[in-house]
Structure formats: C-alpha cells, structure tokens
Structure 1
Amino acid sequence: MAKNPKADEHIIEAIGRCRIVIRDGTVVEVGESQIRDCPLAKRFAYPIPDITKESVKANIEHRIKAFGMCTPDREVLDNREFVGFGASEILSFGLRAGLIDAVVLTCDGAGTIIVTTPALVQGIGGRMSGLVSTSPYPSVMDRIEGSGGYVLDRENASIDQLAGVALAVEKGFRNIAVTVALPRDAQAIRRIHPSAVIFGVHVTGLSAEEAEMLVSASDLVTSCASKTIREIAGKKALVQAGIAIPIFAITKPGKEFIIEKIRTSDEPVLVKPTKLPALGDKQPDPLI
C-alpha cells in the first residue's frame, strides 16, 4: 500500500458522534459515544449490538478491511441500497431519476467532491460516517474522477461544501444537491445558491439554535440521534420517511425526492396523513 507524502490522518465521527482517528490504515483513537443504543448500528454490515469503544473500533476496522476506508485502496463504487431511505440512497435515486445532475459530497482520501453517477454516490456516501478531516490520496481521487466525479482540492483534500457547489456551477451543472453537516454552511449555500437541494446530515448533538439554522436552510434532513432535529424538523416537515432514524423532507423539492422514490419502488409502503414527527419505540438512546 503506497504511503501518502503528507500526514496520513483521518478524523471521523460515527455512532453517536464518537470521535475516531485513523492513521496509516490503523485505528489509533476511539472516543466515547454520546449514545448507548442505536437501531441502525445493529443492522450495519458489521453490527454494533452494544455501543462500546471496542465494538466501535471493530466496526471501523471492518470497514477498513472490507472496502479500504481511509486508505489509498478505498473503493468508491457500489449499487447496493444499505437502507431504504438513507441520504446516499435518496441522492443516488435523484441522479438516476433525473431530479438532479450532480451531488456535492465528502469522501475520505479526497475531501469535497462532485459526483455525477448513482454508483459513486452510493459507493462513497453509503459507507461513510461523518468526515471531519482527511488526507489526500491521489489513487482515490483518480478513481473518483475516472468514475464521473470531480475533486475540489487534490492537494489538500479539504472539506468545503460551499466551494464544492460553486465548482459544480462552474462545471455547468444546474440541478445540484449537496450534503451539509454545518448549519452555517447550509445558510451560506442557501443564500448564494438558492436553487441547490440541501441535505442536512450528521446532526447528532446539535443545539436547538443550530438545528433551527440547519432546518431553515435545508430541503431534506436526516435525524441521526438528534432530539432537536426530531422536534424542529418534525414539526416543519411535509413528509417523513422512516421511523427509527427518520428522514424529513422540509420543502416541496425535498418532498419530490421521497414521493418519486416511493412511486418507482416495488416495496410496500404505508401512506397515512398524521402529525409529524411520528416516532416508534426503537429510537437511538438517548436522543441528544
């Protein structure tokens, strides 16, 4: 495995905003999770039935071994749906259905990228937790660009979603979606690129003020283990997809993604007018 000339370090937040540091393909630090239980984590390819430092470390090590996460061997293509209404599943569907023509994501080894194919959205986003920072891997960037993507910053693999949307516009894309974790970034993108479809992600632990900022600027928001997102987005949502880890469509463009995915799917779906949020018994514990 080729060594990167720059410092080889990746920081991600996963499974209850647990801070994880990976260096040279090895997990060197695992922080404390802010939650005790997560129904989604129990359904991972490498399940986490009990959230401990040891089980989180084993899950991340499995990802490194299975598809090269945070290494130069990182695989970037996949067509499998990991959950019915995950962020990557909805956005890859949006590309396939022609609702959008580009998605601005983040990827370990590449930073902010522009993606134009469903398999690239799913291969990157479907297996990625909250990426805080990463190191550049030319081999990963080449793989992305060879599969119909663009890299914002090949030298540093920086994460800048606002700049990513600007680059997508510069490349000639007009129907652009973007995943955003920081409320201030969502606000800036909405102000400068008002037609962008903004998908709020990695929301566990947001304060009420932060959640309000993110929801007010977003078209779609996932809920993770966030109490504030369930309360604020749930009350404003036009559509909720899922119960344990709901996705909320806040605007009509966001609603169109959910409704169109349901329309073209062969899966049985219950449609029922009701007050939102509609939450079942199996929620992350605690909601924070």
Structure 2
Amino acid sequence: MTSNDEDIHVIEAIGRSRIIIKNGNVAEVSVSKLRQCPLAKKFARPVEDITQDAVKANIEHRMDSWGMCQPHRKVLGTVDFVGFGASELISSGILTGSMDAAVLACDGAGTVIVTTPEMVQGIGGRMSGLVSTSPLTEEMDRIEENGGIVLDRVRATIDPVLGVARAYERGFTRVAVTVASAGTAQAIREQFPDAFIFGVHMSGITEADAERIVGVADIVTACASKWIWQVAGARALLQAGTAVPVFALTQQGKQLILDKIARSDRPVLVSGSKLPVYGPELPDPLL
C-alpha cells in the first residue's frame, strides 16, 4: 500500500535514461545517451546494447528479483555487486567502524538513515539514480523494524542535507552520505565539515559541476562522465577500477578503499601511476 493515490517513482539509470514506474509497472523509458557500458554488461540482467527495450527489461528484472519500487522491496543484502561501488564501500566503512551511519536515497522511502552494512547494501546495491519516489508504507515499516530511520513517511522526500542534519542530531558522529549534485555536496560540506561525501550518478554533469563536487567530495564515481574522469582523475589520491572507476579525493576516501581491499580475499594489483588510468573498455560515449 502507498500513502498516495498514485504510486510513481522516477529514476535515472544506464546513461541517464529516465524511467518512470507507475503502480508497479514501467510506464516510460527515455532514450539513453550511452550506446554501451562495461558495468551494464555485468548486471544480473546484462545490458549489452543500450536500447529502450534493454533498459526496460533490466529495470523489470530489478523489480521482479528484489521488488524495486514495490511494497515488498528487499531492504537487506550481503552480496557485493561491484568491487568498489558506493554501497559496497560504505558497508565496509560501517563494518570497520570508520562510519556509524549512512544517509541514502531509497525508492519507496526517500532519504533514510542506515546503521548496518546489510541495509546499506540492501538499499543501495542495485539502486540507480533516484529522482523522486512515492511512500510505500510496508517498505518503510520494514526499514524501521530493521533499525533504519525514514525522514518523511508522508511524502518520501529526498533531502540529503536534512538527512545528514538528522543523523548528527541522533548522535551519530561518523556520517556518510551519497549525493548526486554538486550544489547538495557543497551545502553538506559547508554545514557538516566532518561528513563523508560520496558523489554518485555523475554521468552528464557539466565541467563546472565536476569542479564543484570534486572540490568537496571524499570519493566520486566516474560513471560515464568525461569531466569526472578528467577533473577527479587528475586530482585523485587513488583510483579503483579502470572501466567505471571511483576516485578517492581525500585521505579519508583513500583509506576507505584500502580498508575494503584489506578485507577482501580477491587478488589486487597495486601500482603507482599518474592518474587517471583508462582501461581498454569504457562507457561509450563519455558524456
């Protein structure tokens, strides 16, 4: 059940294709700006050539497999979908104690405060850029029953700045937050200097916004952004990955990635290099 007469969720995925989900069905899918993406090829429902039909099928698979944008949505998870994604790194940070809360956007709930690695991964592991969402009462209940905090049960508002403020008010002191806009990142850094800022969903941002978010974030994902590749890559202390990498811009960000590597059993190549390092396969085209 929802708190609105009409249940509408708007997300951006796979090269800023805009997807509208109404009442449990994919109603609209815009044309993606990408032709191919190496990350999309590794999805549980792979997207080889990025067409509207392929994007729709991928979103429907997420809805069928874990209930995205539906009342029965899963909110707990333990599987790492990518090596150095935002949810994977923040989950690791909570496990090691370098973070005690994460402020995330969740379909069906809006901005939430999460304190366990299982919920960080359950909410963020397969989530794309959430533009707006409708409240889903059953899902919000499940989040709260498992220790999460929903900021706005009535409207499911997405407000990372308010989320960080509420986290500190609740007594958390090592707060991470995912942000998708430079303005939001700057506002958080100005008001909460100690917050850990993770820039996500960067495809298509302007050079000016890339400069702004790189100036305040601890880690940013490259996504398919040519400007993040250039601006963040040139200033990064560490790059994790070469196809769709993340760039650590502060010592705190660098340490988070190193801690994740230390906890993993996967073999890792460490090599000093001028950054960025481009892999043989990149999103096409970089936006």
Q: Quickly name the TM-score band, shorter chain normalised.
A: over 0.9
Mapping for residues 166-181 of structure 1, pairs under 5 Å: 166-181=165-180
Shift of 1:3: 5.1
Deviation at 1:270, TM superposition (A): 0.7
Q: Which residue of 2 aligns with 1:82?
A: 81
Q: Which amino acid aligns with 2:234?
A: K
In structure 2, what is the Cα distance between the partners aligned to 1:146 and 1:236?
42
Aligned to 1:111: 110
5 Å-filtered alignment, 1:49-198, equals 49-198=48-197
Distance in 2 (CA, whole Å) between partners of 1:217 and 1:65 is 37
Verify: 1:274 aligned to 2:273, yes or no: yes
Query: How much has 1:264 moved relative to structure 2?
Result: 2.3
**CA offsets per residue over residues 236-282 of structure 1, 9 Å max, x none?**
10000011001000001101101111122221111111000011111
Runs of 4+ in 1 over 4 A off after TM superposition: none
User: Following the alignment from structure 2 to structure 1, what is the Cα–Cα distance between the partners of residues 45 and 58?
Assistant: 6
Distance 1:58 1:256, change over 3 A: same
Alpha-carbon shift at residue 55 of structure 1 (Å) = 0.6
What residue identity is the alignment partner of 1:67?
W
Aligned equivalents of 1:249, 1:20: Cα separation in 2: 30
Counting matched residue pairs gives 287
| TM-score normalised by length of structure 1 | 0.98
Q: Is the 8 A contact 2:92 2:259 kept in 1?
A: no
Q: Does 1:214 align with 2:213?
A: yes
Query: In structure 2, how many angstroms separate the alpha carbons of the residues matched to 1:275 and 1:146?
Result: 47
In structure 2, how many angstroms separate the alpha carbons of the residues matched to 1:111 and 1:215?
25
Task: Calculate percent identity across the aligned residue pairs.
Answer: 58
Distance 1:117 1:268 in 2: 26
| Structure 1, unpaired ranges of 5+ | none
**Partners of 1:126 and 1:222 in 2: CA distance:** 14
Query: How far apart, in 1, do the equivalents of 2:280 and 2:166 lie?
Result: 43
Matched to 1:114, the amino acid is I
Q: Distance in 2 between matches of 1:3 and 1:91?
A: 29
User: Which AA in structure 2 matches 1:98?
Assistant: G
SS of 1:217 mapped into structure 2: coil
Deviation of 1:146 (Å): 1.2
CA distance in 2, matches of 1:9, 1:174: 34
1:241 counterpart = 2:248:
no
Measured on the aligned residues, the alpha-carbon RMSD in Å equals 0.8
Q: State the SS of the aligned residue for 2:215.
A: helix
Equivalent-residue separation in structure 1 for 2:221 and 2:37 (angstroms): 14
- The residue number in structure 1 matching 2:8 is 9
Q: Return 261-270 or 81-90, whichever deviates more.
A: 261-270
Secondary structure at the aligned position of 1:106 is classed as strand
Which residue of structure 2 aligns with residue 223 of structure 1?
222
Amino acid at match of 2:185: A
Unmatched 5+ stretches in structure 2: none
TM-score, scaled to structure 2: 0.99
8 A contact 1:6–1:135 mirrored in 2: no
Q: 1:221, 1:5 → 2: CA distance?
A: 34
Contact 2:2-2:137 within 8 A present in 1 as well: no
State the Cα distance separating 1:4 from its structure 2 match. 4.4
